[in-house]
Amino acid sequence: MKPFKLDEHQIDPGFRIPEGYFDAFQQQVSTKIAKPKVIPLYRKPWFYATAAAVVVGLGITYFNAVATPTVSTSVAIENYLAAQPLTQDLLVELLETEDLDQLQAEHQFDQEVLEETLSHTNIENLIY
**Footprint of another protein (CB under 8 A):** 3-6, 9, 11-18, 21-22, 25-26, 28-30, 32-33
How far is Cα 77 from Cα 72, in angstroms, rounded to an integer?
9
Least distance (Å) between residue 53 CB and another protein: 31
The closest of 99, 95, 115, 97 to 107, measured between CA atoms, is 99
Q: Which is nearer to another protein, 24 or 60 (CB)?
A: 24
What element of type H or E holds 48? helix 45-67
Q: Which is nearer to another protein, 22 or 42 (CB)?
A: 22
Cα dihedral sign for 108, 113, 115, 120? negative
Least distance (Å) between residue 60 CB and another protein: 42
Distances (CA, A) of 32 to 17, 36, 41: 21, 8, 20
Q: Which is nearer to another protein, 13 or 40 (CB)?
A: 13
Least distance (Å) between residue 1 CB and another protein: 9
Least distance (Å) between residue 29 CB and another protein: 5
Q: Which is nearer to another protein, 10 or 64 (CB)?
A: 10
Task: Look up residue 52 and give its DSSP letter.
Answer: H
